[in-house]
Amino acid sequence: MKLKKEVLTAWFFLIGAIVFEVIGTSFLKMENKIFGYVFMSLFIAFSYFLMGLAVRKIQVGIAYAVWELLGMVLILLVSFLLFNESLTNYQILGILLSIIGIIMINLGEVKEK
């Protein structure tokens, strides 16, 4: 039971890493570039810290794939919703395929003993 709790905690760390990476990347669009770069650096550094905690119980290949795919999907959605950037049909298809990919990666994850 303890292992399941540790793995669940690791997944929360991974989700946190993804959220902080997306927030950090979003700061690049700020008008005040110095302010944006400072906050981007802080959020992305914390994202890597959380990622380091996550990979203690999640395979690094799985964690990195989920981090990259989900981060990409979320930053596309943030760009669309907050910055009024457009999404092409190919980007929408890519988002859907990425979500399917994340699900398949997690279904195929080898469980640690």
- Mean pLDDT, residues 85-90 taken together: 91
Handedness of CA 82, 88, 90, 92 (dihedral sign): positive
Q: How many whole angstroms separate alpha carbon 99 and alpha carbon 92? A: 11
What is this structure's pTM?
0.82
Q: What is the pLDDT of residue 36?
A: 84
Which stretch of 31-40, 44-53, 83-92 has the lowest confidence by average pLDDT? 31-40
Which residue, among 3, 58, 1, 4, has the nearest Cα to 18 in the 3D structure?
A: 58
**In terms of pLDDT, which residue wins out, 95 or 30?**
95
pLDDT band at 1 (very low <50, low <70, confident <90, very high): low
- Mean pLDDT, residues 73-97 taken together: 90
Alpha helices, H only, 27-59: 33-54
- Mean pLDDT, residues 25-33 taken together: 83
